[in-house]
Amino acid sequence: MKTRTYSPTPVNLRRLAAALQRGELVAIPTETVYGLAANALDEKACRGIFTAKGRPAHDPLIVHVPDLDHAEKLAEFNDAARRLVRKFWPGPLTIVLPKKSCIPAIVTAGRDTVAIRSPAHPLTRRLLRLAKIPLAAPSANLFGYICPTTAAHVLDGLRGRIPAVLDGGPCKVGVESAILDLTDPKQPAILRPGAVTVRELEDFLQIKISGGIGKRHRAGKKPGMIAPGMLSQHYSPRTPLIVKAAWATLPANTAGVFLRRPSGRHAPNVHWLSQRGALSEIARNLYRVLRDVDSGGYQQIWLEAPPESSGGLATAINDRLRRAAAKR
């Protein structure tokens, strides 16, 4: 299969919208990472996502919609969820709610809930309007590898596996959306931290939000996970990654990745995520730098972690680093 990259012209957007309507796959830009999109109401099309990525069927997909009106056709919203999405959509927040029957079981890993969000990237929003269908879209990479934040990253992993990539430039956020389970509005749970922080959600909802999966998500005999991005090992480079608070010396054949540009260190194996250590810049550059050093032929990657006390985006960054560094 030949993979073609499309620039975001009006003609190309109409062409890609028609391809999605026909059940084809298209890699699309979002503000978080690039996603591999298919018609969320077409079981066969969604099955193609799993095949192209090598993704296991127990890992569900996020459904993307333009707004709340479209989302309510796919999921059972409660008052708390409506208030929340009016505040934070479009943006990097995914809500888990009971699904409606129109959503195929393959999208939700056989569960009766669906993860749904409204992306902020203007090109994806235009594509959603043109296609007039909800789009299921996990990250556009081979399963388990570092997520893509440019069209070139998508091609690195999926060239020859998918027909089309829409080039929307680098992603502005750089880490995946926060995922909040609101199936029980009295007991909301954060399933994956993101750019929309737990503190922001708690302040808005005026209720304590629990962390982790929680007992109600482990109970029962449901076949798959409640939401994507919950595996203990994920987002991983092929080179062994060691996350360190700090280190004095950098061994030979090891790439060192610093939060900010280190003064006095200019060796080829020294890399940094931000000129000044800004969390938003660190998040935006994290996957790009990891991909760069992963292709450098090093034996190990040492990466400095932001202090947990930094809060906000630091929580999301450290979550991704823990999963990326987990032993295979």
- What residues pair up with 98 in beta bridges, in sequence order? 113
| Phi and psi, residue 28, nearest 5° | -125, 150
Q: Look at residue 167 and tell me if it is in a domain.
A: yes
Regarding whether 299 and 160 lie in a shared domain, the answer is: no
pLDDT of residue 229: 84
How much of the chain exceeds pLDDT 90, in percent? 85
Regarding whether 253 and 194 lie in a shared domain, the answer is: no
- What residues pair up with 114 in beta bridges, in sequence order? 97
Expressed as residue numbers, the domain containing 314 is 241-325
- Distance (Å, whole) CA 111 – CA 139: 20
N- to C-terminal Cα distance for the chain?
31
Of 218, 233, 256, the residue that ends a domain is 218
Question: Tell me: the pLDDT tens digits for 180-206?
Answer: 999 999 999 999 999 999 999 999 999
In the sheet that holds 113-117, the strands lie side by side as: 4-6, 164-166, 26-28, 35-39, 135-136, 62-64, 113-117, 93-98, 178-181, 189-192, 210-211
Regarding whether 203 and 154 lie in a shared domain, the answer is: yes
| Whether residue 51 has pLDDT greater than 80 | yes
Q: Look at residue 228 and tell me if it is in a domain.
A: no
pLDDT of residue 222: 61
pLDDT of residue 247: 80
Regarding whether 213 and 88 lie in a shared domain, the answer is: yes
For the chain, the domain total comes to 2
Task: For tokens 């202090």, name the residue.
Answer: 307
> What pTM was estimated for this model as a whole?
0.94
Regarding whether 305 and 163 lie in a shared domain, the answer is: no
Regarding whether 251 and 194 lie in a shared domain, the answer is: no
Q: Which two tokens stand for residue 250?
A: 């950098």
Task: Assign 3-class secondary structure to 232-287.
Answer: CCCCECCCCEEEECCCCCCCCCEEEEECCCCCCCCCCCEEECCCCCCHHHHHHHHH
- Distance (Å, whole) CA 136 – CA 41: 8
pLDDT of residue 218: 43
Regarding whether 260 and 169 lie in a shared domain, the answer is: no
pLDDT of residue 214: 42
Question: Tell me: the pLDDT tens digits for 200-253?
Answer: 999 999 999 988 644 344 444 566 899 998 888 889 999 999 998 878 788 889
pLDDT of residue 212: 61
